[in-house]
Amino acid sequence: MLKILVDPNPKLRKKSKRVTKNELGSASFQDFIRQLSTTMQEADGIGIAAPQVGQNIRLIVINTDQGPQPMINPVVLWKSLTKELGEEGCLSVPGIFGLVKRAKIILLTYVDWAGKRHQIRAKGLFARVIQHEVDHLDGILFIDKAEKVISNKDLKP
């Protein structure tokens, strides 16, 4: 399992660089995708971004019904005007939760680990998780956007 960085680590605030075709095809990059996926699953996350483990590259992994789905160089092409307020947490901001307003539907393009380009329409929780993870690639944490932040310490047993 890779070490998950915790806020205020400065690597979480850096903008990530695109993954090149040469990097994509390398055995070390393919291995990193597997390690990142395993780290997300072992930490019981629904998504993770490479900057959360200290790699400032444009790679996210989303946990789906079919298993971990890596998305390389993801770009949100369109966001619905309809927004939804929902609770979010983050592996890099442990013990903190907040209400964040996000687009209900997005259109996303990305490359999979075989180098194939995809364009998908995501809605609901899937869209929320993608937006959260793409924010990580730009050095943005959910606490930057949250309307209300609650700590586990604030909750009464």
Looking at residue 29, which CATH number applies to its domain?
3.90.45.10
23 is catalytic: no
Residue at 36 is within a domain: yes
Residue at 64 is within a domain: yes
Q: Is the pLDDT of residue 155 over 80?
A: no
pLDDT in tens, 58-116: 999 999 999 999 999 999 999 999 999 999 999 999 999 999 999 999 999 999 999 99
Total count of residues recorded for the chain: 157
The pLDDT value given to residue 149? 92
Residue at 1 is within a domain: no
- The SS3 of residue 24 is helix
Residue at 27 is within a domain: yes
Residue at 4 is within a domain: no
**Domain coverage including residue 46:** 10-154
Residue at 21 is within a domain: yes
Q: Is the pLDDT of residue 157 over 70?
A: no
Residue at 149 is within a domain: yes
pLDDT in tens, 102-149: 999 999 999 999 999 999 999 999 999 999 999 999 999 999 999 989
The pLDDT value given to residue 152? 73
Please name the helix (run of DSSP H) or strand (run of DSSP E) that holds residue 110, with its range, or none.
strand 105-111
Residue at 130 is within a domain: yes
Structural domains in the chain (count): 1
Out of 42, 84, 87, 133, which one is annotated catalytic?
133
8 Å CB contact between 59 and 24: no
> Residues 150-154: what's their mean pLDDT?
75
